[in-house]
Amino acid sequence: MSQFGQIGFTEEQIDVLNGAETFCRDHAPIGTVRALITSDLGYDDKVWAQIGALGWLGIAIPETYGGLGLSLTEVVPVCEQMGRRMMASPFLSTSLAAQALIVGGTLAQKSKILPQIAQGKAASLALSERNQAWDLTRCDVQARRTQGGYVLTGTKTLVLDLEAAEWIIVSANLDQKACLFIVEKEQILETAMRREILIDETKRGWEWVLDGTEITEEACLDKSKMDAAFKHIHLTATLLFAAELTGGAQACIDYTVEYLNTRKQFDKLIGSFQALKHPVVDAFVEYQKARSLLYMAAFNFYKPEQGEVATRMAFVQADKTLSFAADRSIQFHGGFGFTYDCDAHLYRRRAIFNTSQYGDRHYHKTKLADLLL
């Protein structure tokens, strides 16, 4: 089993964890989360500015580009704690876009954009399409060469935080091969964007008709690095979504336990009924495993084979855990569980969304089987 790697931690990671735990708890109480659901923007721009000021967006950006020069190992606790409180912000999208640039960008692109992200500017990725189903390199959107640049045609879907982003990294086919391009905020026509209705209402996603979007030659990422970039985006998203799910599982279990400790039926606290107690314990056991796997993945992420195995394992376990914990949470709240007011559905919706974007547990298990068996 040693080929799968050991768990470990870095001092910086623990500092980030402690900071994020307090910050997210203080700035995303459930009332705020619910208020932001109904807002247009979807997040609190003052809190977003604070996140920028804390330097979290620069954690995994090299020092030469104005970041802290740490790694995704230290980003994981931020996503975990944000996921725990369901704090809304373009943090995850921006982190992913930065990673795409770090691995696939040209020197000029990195020098221009990464320092601004490290300072708190938002960015995002536009990869999804209607016919794509998790294979990021399968694009119907086309990039056609023009004089001095490219023109894009086709439609992207599920573009998270499109409205917030200063830069969007778009995938499109160029000469029959998927490639990444940077589109700047000013190039997006308002009429080309339609807000989609997402199951996770704390998130903001858009359909984006690219037809006629013209970009310069310099907007194309380094073509020689595309394979590595797509793979890195896929695994990074898997890791960070797993972190959100794991944090969410902790909160969901706490939320359920609280109800089991206060609601009475038949003159007894319902938590004394084992039909409720034991499944909650099972969820808790799965959560502890999920957290161990998550921090192992964070620690080993950059090791060639191990990193991929660890990341997919962490995701499988996180998906299994929150999906189960939230499903049972709805049931164990009885009639109240069926209401919009009960938070259980927020967790269930989160799990469905997070497992829909870059592959769910079945998909990752298939990939793991190919790697391990």
Q: Is 192 in the site for other proteins (CB under 8 A)?
A: no
Using CB under 8 A, count the residues that bind other proteins.
Answer: 44
* Residue ranges in 267-286 that form contacts with other proteins under rule CB under 8 A: 268-269, 271-274, 277-278, 280-282, 284-285
Q: Which stretch binds other proteins (CB under 8 A): 120-128, 162-170, 324-332, 363-371?
A: 363-371
Q: Is 257 in the site for other proteins (CB under 8 A)?
A: yes
Q: Is 305 in the site for other proteins (CB under 8 A)?
A: no
Whichever of 18 and 64 has its CB closer to other proteins, that residue is 18
Q: Which stretch binds other proteins (CB under 8 A): 5-13, 32-40, 170-178, 192-200?
A: 5-13
HSE, CB side, 13 Å, CA atoms: give it for residue 280.
Answer: 25
Nearest to 315 by CA among 253, 347, 360: 360
User: How many Å apart are CA 110 and CA 62, to the nearest integer?
Assistant: 10
Nearest to 178 by CA among 233, 126, 223: 223
- Enter the DSSP assignment of 196: -
At which residue do the structure tokens 């084992």 appear?
274
- The DSSP element (H or E) to which 208 belongs, if any, is strand 205-209
Q: Is 306 in the site for other proteins (CB under 8 A)?
A: no
- Contacts with other proteins, 29-58, as mask; x by CB under 8 A: ------------------------------
User: How many Å apart are CA 265 and CA 201, to the nearest integer?
Assistant: 32
From candidates 250, 311, 354, 355, binder to other proteins by CB under 8 A = 250
Q: Which stretch binds other proteins (CB under 8 A): 49-57, 99-107, 203-211, 362-370?
A: 362-370
CB 172 within 8 A of CB 152: yes
Whichever of 117 and 351 has its CB closer to other proteins, that residue is 351
Nearest to 51 by CA among 110, 84, 94: 94
- In whole angstroms, the minimum distance from the beta carbon of 8 to other proteins comes to 8
Q: What are phi and psi of 261, to 5 degrees?
A: -95, 0
Q: Is 210 exposed, middle or buried (0-12, 13-18, 19+ CB in 10 A)?
A: buried
- Contacts with other proteins, 105-124, as mask; x by CB under 8 A: --------------------
Q: Which stretch binds other proteins (CB under 8 A): 2-10, 126-134, 176-184, 237-245?
A: 2-10
Q: Which stretch binds other proteins (CB under 8 A): 7-15, 95-103, 164-172, 232-240?
A: 7-15
Q: What are phi and psi of 297, to 5 degrees?
A: -65, -40
Q: Is 17 in the site for other proteins (CB under 8 A)?
A: yes
User: For helices 72-85 and 226-260, what crossing angle results, to 10°?
Assistant: 40
User: How many Å apart are CA 307 and CA 235, to the nearest integer?
Assistant: 9
Q: Is 25 in the site for other proteins (CB under 8 A)?
A: no
Whichever of 14 and 133 has its CB closer to other proteins, that residue is 14
From candidates 75, 114, 139, 253, binder to other proteins by CB under 8 A = 253
Q: Is 317 in the site for other proteins (CB under 8 A)?
A: yes
Whichever of 108 and 373 has its CB closer to other proteins, that residue is 373
Q: Is 134 in the site for other proteins (CB under 8 A)?
A: no
- In whole angstroms, the minimum distance from the beta carbon of 344 to other proteins comes to 17
From candidates 107, 108, 197, 373, binder to other proteins by CB under 8 A = 373
Which whole-number Å values give the CA distances from 118 to 52, 149, 153, 164, in the listed order?
Answer: 7, 28, 31, 15
Nearest to 318 by CA among 249, 254, 234, 253: 249
User: How many Å apart are CA 162 and CA 109, to the nearest integer?
Assistant: 19
CB 70 within 8 A of CB 60: yes
Q: Is 197 in the site for other proteins (CB under 8 A)?
A: no
- For strands 123-126 and 167-174, give the pairing: parallel
Enumerate binding residues for other proteins (CB under 8 A).
1, 4, 6-7, 9, 14, 17-18, 250, 253, 257, 260-261, 268-269, 271-274, 277-278, 280-282, 284-285, 288-293, 295-296, 313, 316-317, 362, 365-366, 368-369, 372-373
